[in-house]
Amino acid sequence: MKIFFLNKGDEKLGSNRIYIKNLSERMANLGHQVKISNTISEGYDVYILSKSCNINDVISVRNLNNESLIGIIHPSDLNLKLLRKLKKFDFFITGSIEEQDYYYQYNKNVFLLPQIENIKIKNKLHRKKDKIKIGYHGNLEHLEEMEGACSNALERLSKKYDLDLTAIYDQSLGQWKKGRPKNINIVEYNWTSIEDLISNLEDVDIGIVPCTNNFFLDNKKKQSNIFTYLIRKFTGGYNKRHNDYIIRFKNTSNAGRANVFHQLGIPVVAGFWPSNFHIIENRKYGFLAHSENGWYNSLEKLINSFQLRQNIADNVTKEFVSKYDNIDLTKNLLTDIQKILK
């Protein structure tokens, strides 16, 4: 096929790097004619638009050729009211089951391509250490989501163990203040490239992937009491027990951050959302945590046992090799696109 990628985003943005640069290179290596540009060209069978494109770009592509297929990557930045009306897309490319499920309301052709970086699988050797390094990578928003359960757990653990925390994020968007744990040595790196990310995570023993705005209903907290009351009032008593969990996650949530730790052989503790449940089996491929004690106990298990860290690292690298080969995933996506092209 002749495939055109309309890219109007920065490579620092994971979706552009993974779904434009890396995906287009793999498609070209598989024998397809591929072009990337920020201006539209004629004569292609398939047009794939980055999430930074807008509805006018879609109309421009459609006006070139009604027979061409138009797809978009992570359409979360589009005006969804226009998206409903125009129905201009032939397919969506999404990075998680959450996102795929959400966008079925706009299109039946919603293809799932897991958010996986071009990183060589590393067979990391874990050893007994006096100082344990815990690592985070991602954006500032997710970093601030450590506030509460994750941050409190780290503060408690730092009183008992010698810990360092490495935080890698795009500092051009601001400095990390909210949710920053106290009494723990924090080393911050600016996100510059995937190569530097790999280098800065090299000495990390445990990865953390905090979740987006989860609500743990604690009747001791006034704010939680109000929230519980509102949920009961407006949902017909959906949550009737004081200790119920209410889990909130973005429709674009994905396992991308956890995947990087897995590729580098670093065991991870991750928050509750569907994609993380999809790739993490407790103790075998890492740990899932929601409450403060959940984070504390999961991290403490990994801090205390280098052998557990090693077992998980070995398990996840084998899992990645068998299930998440980027070439195979690209072939599957191309097959899906070819079916609707016919």
Q: Which two tokens stand for residue 339?
A: 């079916």
Tens of pLDDT, residues 34-50: 999 999 999 999 999 98
Mean pLDDT of 283-291: 95
User: Residue 271's domain is classified under what CATH number?
Assistant: 3.40.50.2000
Q: Is residue 48 part of a domain?
A: yes
Whether residue 222 is predicted with pLDDT greater than 90 in this model: the reply is no
pLDDT at 220 over 50: no
Is the separation of the CB atoms in 17 and 197 below 8 Å?
no
Binning pLDDT at 50, 70 and 90, where does residue 12 land? low
147 occurs within a structural domain: yes
Closest by CA position to 136, among listed 319, 317, 322, 295: 295
* Distance in angstroms (rounded) separating the CA atoms of residues 315 and 304: 19
pLDDT at 307: 98
Question: Based on the domain organization, do 83 and 192 belong to the same domain?
Answer: no
Closest to 137 (Cα-Cα) out of 175, 211, 189, 185: 189
Q: What is the pLDDT of residues 117-164, one digit of tens each?
A: 999 998 999 999 999 999 999 989 889 989 889 999 999 999 999 999
pLDDT single digits (tens) 315-337: 999 999 889 999 999 999 999 99
Band the pLDDT of 67: cuts 50, 70, 90. Answer: confident
Name the strands in the sheet holding 287-288, side by side, starting at the edge strand that comes first in the sequence.
185-190, 162-169, 131-137, 206-209, 268-270, 287-288
To the nearest whole number, what is the mean pLDDT of the chain? 88
Q: In 3-state terms, the chain is what percent helix, strand and coil (to 5)?
A: 40, 20, 40
Task: Name the residue with tokens 């730790």.
Answer: 261
Q: Same structural domain for residues 147 and 280?
A: yes
Closest Cα partner for 62 from 80, 89, 84, 33? 89
Q: Are 184 and 309 in a shared domain?
A: yes
Amino acid letter at 322? S
160 and 183 both lie in a single domain: yes
Structure tokens at 44: 């292609």
Domain membership of residue 234 (yes or no) is no
Structure tokens at 86: 């125009």
CA 52/CA 339 separation, integer angstroms: 26
**Domain housing 51:** 2-116+325-341
Asked if the structure places residue 105 within a domain, the reply is yes
Verify that 266 and 303 share a domain, yes or no: yes
217 pLDDT band (50/70/90 cuts)? very low
- pLDDT score of 2 more than 80: yes
Q: Does 219 score more than 50 pLDDT?
A: no
How much is the pLDDT for 85? 60
Q: Tell me, yes or no, whether 225 lies in a domain.
A: no
Query: Which helix (DSSP H) or strand (DSSP E) does residue 205 occupy?
Result: none
The verdict on 317 and 330 lying in the same domain is no
pLDDT higher for 235 or 6?
6
In a domain? residue 223:
no
Determine whether 316 is exposed, middle or buried from the number of CB atoms within 10 Å of its CB (0-12, 13-18, 19+). buried
Give me the residues paired with residue 286 across strands. 282
Answer yes or no: is 126 within a domain.
Answer: no
Q: Rounded CA gap, 294 and 214, in Å?
A: 13
Per DSSP, the three-state class of 338 is helix
Long-range contacts of 188-193 (CB under 8 A, 24+ apart): 191/12, 191/137
Query: What percent of the chain has pLDDT above 70?
Result: 87
148 and 258 in a single domain? The answer is yes
* 191 and 60 together in one domain: no
Pick from 76-90, 184-198, 217-231, 280-294: least confident: 217-231
86 and 156 inside one domain: no
What is the number of structural domains in the chain?
A: 2
Q: What span, in angstroms and rounded, lies between the C-alpha atoms of 287 and 200?
A: 22
Query: Which pLDDT value is given to residue 55?
Result: 76
Please give the pLDDT value at position 211: 80
Q: Is 168 found in the same domain as 22?
A: no
Nearest to 214 by CA among 251, 246, 261: 246
8 A C-beta contact, residue 137 and residue 201: yes
Tell me how far apart the alpha carbons of residues 121 and 147 are, in angstroms, rounded to a whole number.
Answer: 31
CB atoms near residue 288 (< 10 Å): 21
Q: Confirm whether 47 is domain-assigned.
A: yes
Residue 269 to residue 262: CA distance in whole angstroms: 11
CB contact set of 87 (below 8 Å; sequence gap of 6+): 106, 107
